[in-house]
Amino acid sequence: MQPSHRVLLALVASFMVGLRSVACFSQGGLTTNLVAGKCSTGTLPRCGQHTVYKHANPLRCRSRLLFWQNLVCTEESGLERRGGKSLHVYAFVTMVGWGKNTLLNELSSLDATSCKEHFGSSIPPVILESDEIGKDKFWPVVEKTIKDGDDDLDHLILNKNFPPNSWKGTVKRLKRVCEEKQRNLCIHAIFPKSVGSERNAFSLFDCATCLYSVKNRQEHPNLSSSANNIPEVVSLFYKLYHVPGGRKEFLNNLRNNFTESVIEVDWIKSECMVSTSQDLDRKMEKLFWVTRKINRAKKENQNEIPDDLRSELDAVVVDIFDSQTNIQMFETCRLEPSRVLQSFLENLPRST
């Protein structure tokens, strides 16, 4: 081989090694995945010998770098960083009517000792309520909260639903403001446990339970029992979690495209976490069929819903909750709020 060829091959090899070092940085036996060739704060984290969060998949070098994947380091690594430490942001990957407010009301009752035990700080997490702030003002308030926050801001809970169509924009917004603040971003997805279905992350029973809850809640800024579009909204949210391959595939997508730190939370009693009856399945499928017809009609009639379709939809909803037995089932299938909080706290990611 001619000397010029050997030099060229050496340059190519050096370039390929450089590319791999951009994708992965290993220190102390822990490999940390980087995003688009750089850490979210622009500097390399020192994760030391600590294990990445217990419930997060270990971050490894991959043949294809996932641009939207988040950097998840231990709390210790955040404390060692120059210019700031880790900001833990919690996002609800849930359906409307799941019970975010109920969980957060329980969480707000924790004392300083409990906060220290579960969050590593006696200062409670900051909670931002989307419905109270308003849709158009929510993200400006989130960004301002992070920018104005000092080192005491360790945990930020976003009280808002984050279905798959929101993941890309959410990560982009949070990364941008954390980079400006020189904070290491750690996103955690709060994800309700479910048996799921062949085509959805949640079961039809989950959807019916959420529908029942929304229909019967008295006070809510956007969607209380007095709203006339409850079935359409609940159906829409359920469809947002549709994925071929069901819950297992959805979890893969969640970890690949939003965050690897997934907090699965119990909310349905174990005896109720079974496949729904064929009768309820049929009624729920009819609900989806009617809401699809309504959506088509709204496009054709400038958002006006024909009276016959509205009557048909109302009849379907009545049929779903057609007996006292069904009503009793939906009223008692949920865990007590304290049990839901316990499940959330027990499954919080912790460094070891």
Q: Looking at residues 46-74, what average pLDDT do you find?
A: 30
- 259 within 8 A of 189, measured Cβ to Cβ: yes
More confident residue, 192 or 66: 192
Q: Looking at residues 10-36, what average pLDDT do you find?
A: 36
The pLDDT, as a whole number, for residue 172 is: 96
Residue 163: how many CB atoms within 10 A of its CB? 18
In DSSP terms, 156 is beta-bridged to 89, 126
Q: What is the pLDDT of residues 112-144, one digit of tens each?
A: 999 999 999 899 999 999 989 998 999 999 999
Q: How confident is the model at residue 296 (pLDDT cuts 50, 70, 90)?
A: confident
Q: How far apart are CA 326 and CA 322, in angstroms?
A: 7
Length of the chain, in residues:
352
Name the least confident of 269-273, 290-294, 298-302.
298-302
Domains of the chain: 74-199+246-268+335-352 (3.40.50), 203-240+270-333 (no CATH)
The pLDDT, as a whole number, for residue 326 is: 82
Q: Looking at residues 203-232, what average pLDDT do you find?
A: 80
Q: Residue 81: pLDDT above 70?
A: no
Q: How far apart are CA 174 and CA 185, in angstroms?
A: 8
- 56 within 8 A of 70, measured Cβ to Cβ: no
- 99 within 8 A of 213, measured Cβ to Cβ: yes
Q: How far apart are CA 310 and CA 319, in angstroms?
A: 14
263 Cβ contact partners less than 8 Å away, ≥ 6 residues apart: 55, 90, 188, 189, 190, 191, 344, 347, 348, 349
- 257 within 8 A of 68, measured Cβ to Cβ: yes
Q: Looking at residues 5-18, what average pLDDT do you find?
A: 47
Q: Which residue has the tokens 């060229």?
A: 8
The pLDDT, as a whole number, for residue 30 is: 28
Q: How far apart are CA 236 and CA 246, in angstroms?
A: 17
Q: Looking at residues 14-34, what average pLDDT do you find?
A: 34
How many H-runs (helices) and E-runs (strands) does the chain carry?
14, 7
Q: Which own/partner pairs from 322-329 qualify as long-range (CB within 8 Å, at least 24 positions apart)?
A: 326/280, 327/212, 329/272
Single pTM value for the model:
0.75
Q: How confident is the model at residue 17 (pLDDT cuts 50, 70, 90)?
A: very low
Q: Residue 327: pLDDT above 90?
A: no
